[in-house]
Amino acid sequence: MDRAMANANSVRGTTAPNPWVGAVLLSKDGEVFDGATRPVGGAHAERSALEAAGQAAHGATLATTLEPCCHIGRTEPCVDHIIEAGVARVLIGVTDPDPHVAGGGIRALRDSGIEVVEGVQEAPVTAQLEPYLHHRRTGRPWVVLKMALTLDGRTAAPDGSSQWITSEEARLDGHALRARCDAILVGAGTVRSDDPSLTVRDVPGTDPQRIVLGQIPADAAVHPCWEMHGELKVLLEQMGEAGVVDLLVEGGANVAAEFHRQGIVNEYVLYLAPALMGGDDGRPVFVDSGSATMSELWRGELRDIRKVGVDLRIELRPIRGD
């Protein structure tokens, strides 16, 4: 399953609205064939591995990170191809909560006489597919709030300048995060002050769908984009319906504060620079009032911390889940 997970990682950010799934097929003769979900309309991971194996798939063992689909969408059901190929055994990381599948793929395989083993390396596979699983269970995208700040918690100087707080290495890592996500969101104020393009640069990957909260000038660099207005939770539902699984929120301070206060952030990624603004007039991470007392202090769970260039990259999750 480790190899299947590596195959899945290799296509993350290219498969929306489908999940990034990896597969590995081991033939009776010990040959190994890899598969991963192709861009929308293309073969799913299981079929990709079967195509690579050809006749060697007969009697083979197939490992896949997600339960094979059993319904007709843009492609034929993967279970049909698995059964037709004569695969003898299927190892599955996690069951697909999509109501079109939800155990149906497993039942179809077993009904055809194929041995199915569920929950193979379930914990790491679940972690890998967490945004997709969240999307299918809630209808909303997985929200990642990304912030770059100084040691004293400032995201920009008093004059509004913020280029650059962090190192080039941290900025490249941020672009890799963009490439992983289906959409990227900022407020209209950020567009008016910085005129960002919000594209993926200097790393492999495709540009995410760009979303702006509010109205922006017609000549803004972020176009073409979605200009959205309304209650955040309603907008998230609309994004989910449009196939956005991973949403990256990059600010500014008003937007970041609103997402945080409404408790709709699933993952925080902070790039902490070894720098000090040295006063209280720099722009903070969040605007307006925060916790009134220590008992109201928001606390998160540290998931990862590592050095990127000269900066620290910190990943947090809310302790109370979604």
- Residues involved in catalysis: 46
Residues 6 or more apart whose Cβ sits within 8 Å of residue 189: 214, 252, 254
Q: Which residues of 149-188 are buried (b: 16+ CB within 10 A; e: fewer)?
A: bbeeebbbeeeeebeebbbeebbebbbebbbbbbbbbbbb
Distance CA 134, CA 245 (A): 8
Strand-pair partners of 212: 186, 227
Distance CA 270, CA 147 (A): 5
Q: Which residues of 12-21 are buried (b: 16+ CB within 10 A; e: fewer)?
A: bbbbbbbbbb
Are 182 and 209 contacting, i.e. CB atoms less than 8 angstroms apart? yes
